[in-house]
């Protein structure tokens, strides 16, 4: 028996973008010492006090069927956090708790798109985006942001792609580039959304990892709250990646439908995980700063070193990544990453894993301890210099 065309076609018939990761993991399993700078996974695990709260809640009996839209106290805490960070009045009726932001993005596209609708997204993009869109039966269409414009999406390009589309997925702070969309960029996105009646689906999971500049959520712009669906998560902000605790924020009527979808799909998030998430949010900004501090430090150190060496780096303002331009080497990002892994046992993600706009780049995850990271960064710079000289 064959599976459905929808599920068989999630990756569009090509790679899912994680080939380098699989190769590096196999090398590690074979006993090779690989510096793995691929996945955006914290090198420190979930804080013990959060795990203690999870344990307390489970032993107290919060192990039954969960409240599908999320326990009220957690929804209230998320709503308060969103209100504080954006200035947009938000209540629990605007919030549905989901098993991570990935589930929230799937729910958002299910809410926004019917099968056959066109859903836009920005290239470069996180690898799951086109598959998420295809998974709801919509047509995934990329709109390129360009390296020479600092990977800021251009409103004119969006306007050309918008006729007939139903939604636009954006991600700022951005994975893979670390770029934070400027207020001018967001104003352009909002203008296109209003003129073409688009839903804006905004992935904001890196909003606590901003090193310079300011994050602007499209939901806080005039007239945009009613057409925005915003995905958030505790994965990056609180090092709770494996807990799968995220949320979707949007208009109350839309969230009622998303709750209905959750009833028919995930049936919510375990109560003891929700209690731990509530505890995590109650620890406030100081806790979030503590989780983000290693990446702020490593980002500054790696960026300063690469800049001093003359290695071109995307003007990154946020996130646990740096995007390095290796086009002068004469190799594609894929070929460079393969060579770096084979010859130096350093695993990074090729830009092509995140779309064609990032071709010829590498995404470097700053996810190992500082000295090991800087050893890898120094080797990377040496290889770029050598291959660029050979290519010249």
* Residue in this structure with the two tokens 């695993």, named with its chain if needed: 347
Q: Which fold has domain 5-45+286-384?
A: 3.90.1150
Class of domain 64-283 as given by CATH: alpha beta
CA 44 to chain centre: 19
Q: Count other Cβ atoms within 10 Å, centred on residue 307.
A: 11
Confidence of residue 18 (pLDDT cuts 50, 70, 90): confident
Alpha helix (H) residue ranges in the chain: 5-8, 19-29, 48-59, 72-86, 100-112, 129-135, 155-161, 183-195, 252-264, 271-282, 284-308, 333-344, 370-391
pLDDT single digits (tens) 299-346: 999 999 999 999 999 988 999 999 999 999 999 999 999 999 999 999
Strand partners, 171: 203
97, 269 Cβ separation under 8 angstroms: yes
Question: How far is C-alpha 13 from the chain's CA centre?
Answer: 23
| The pLDDT of residue 16 is above 90 | no
Domain with CATH 3.90.1150.10 in the chain: 5-45+286-384
| Average pLDDT taken over every residue of the chain | 96
Residue 120 is given by DSSP the state E
At 392, the pLDDT band (50, 70, 90 cuts) reads confident
pTM of the model: 0.95
Q: How far is CA 382 from CA 223, 330, 340, in A?
A: 50, 15, 11
pLDDT at 382 over 80: yes
What is the pLDDT at residue 109?
98
Question: Angle at the Cα of 312 (from 307 to 317), degrees rounded to 5?
Answer: 70
- Among 17, 9, 318, 374, smallest CA distance to 177 is for 318
What residue ranges of the chain are covered by domains with CATH 3.40.640.10? 64-283
Tens-place pLDDT, residues 46-55 = 999 999 999 9
Q: How confident is the model at residue 391 (pLDDT cuts 50, 70, 90)?
A: confident
């Amino acid at each position: 028996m064959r599976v459905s065309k929808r599920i068989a076609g999630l990756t569009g018939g090509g790679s899912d973008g994680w080939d380098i990761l699989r190769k590096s993991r196999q090398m590690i399993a074979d006993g090779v010492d690989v510096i793995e700078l691929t996945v955006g996974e914290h090198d420190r695990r979930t804080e013990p006090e959060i795990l203690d709260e999870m344990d307390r809640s489970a032993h107290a009996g919060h192990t039954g069927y969960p409240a599908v839209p999320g326990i009220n106290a957690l929804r209230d805490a998320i709503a308060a956090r969103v209100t504080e960070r954006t200035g947009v009045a938000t209540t629990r009726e605007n919030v549905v708790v989901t098993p991570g932001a990935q589930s929230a993005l799937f729910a958002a596209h299910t809410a926004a798109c019917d099968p056959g609708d066109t859903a836009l997204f920005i290239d470069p993009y996180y690898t799951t985006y086109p598959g998420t869109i295809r998974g709801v039966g919509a047509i995934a269409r990329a709109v390129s942001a360009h390296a020479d414009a600092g990977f800021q999406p251009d409103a004119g390009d969006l306007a050309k792609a918008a006729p007939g589309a139903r939604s636009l997925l954006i991600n700022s702070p951005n994975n893979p580039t670390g770029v934070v969309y400027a207020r001018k960029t967001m104003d352009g996105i909002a203008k296109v959304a209003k003129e073409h009646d688009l839903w804006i689906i905004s992935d904001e999971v890196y909003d606590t990892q901003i090193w310079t500049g300011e994050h602007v959520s499209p939901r806080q712009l005039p007239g945009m709250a009613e057409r925005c669906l915003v995905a958030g998560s505790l994965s990056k902000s609180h090092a709770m990646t494996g807990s799968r605790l995220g949320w979707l924020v949007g208009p109350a009527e839309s969230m009622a439908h998303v709750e209905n979808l959750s009833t028919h799909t995930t049936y919510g998030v375990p109560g003891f995980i929700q209690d731990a998430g509530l505890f995590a949010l109650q620890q406030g900004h100081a806790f979030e700063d503590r989780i983000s501090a290693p990446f702020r430090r490593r980002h500054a150190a790696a960026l300063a070193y690469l800049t001093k060496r003359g290695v071109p780096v995307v003007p990154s303002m946020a996130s646990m990544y740096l995007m390095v331009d290796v086009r002068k080497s004469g190799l594609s990002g894929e070929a460079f990453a393969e060579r770096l892994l084979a010859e130096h046992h350093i695993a990074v993600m090729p830009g092509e894993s995140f779309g064609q706009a990032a071709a010829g780049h590498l995404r470097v995850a700053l996810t190992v301890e500082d000295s090991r990271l800087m050893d890898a960064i120094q080797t990377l710079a040496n290889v770029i210099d050598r291959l660029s000289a050979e290519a010249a």
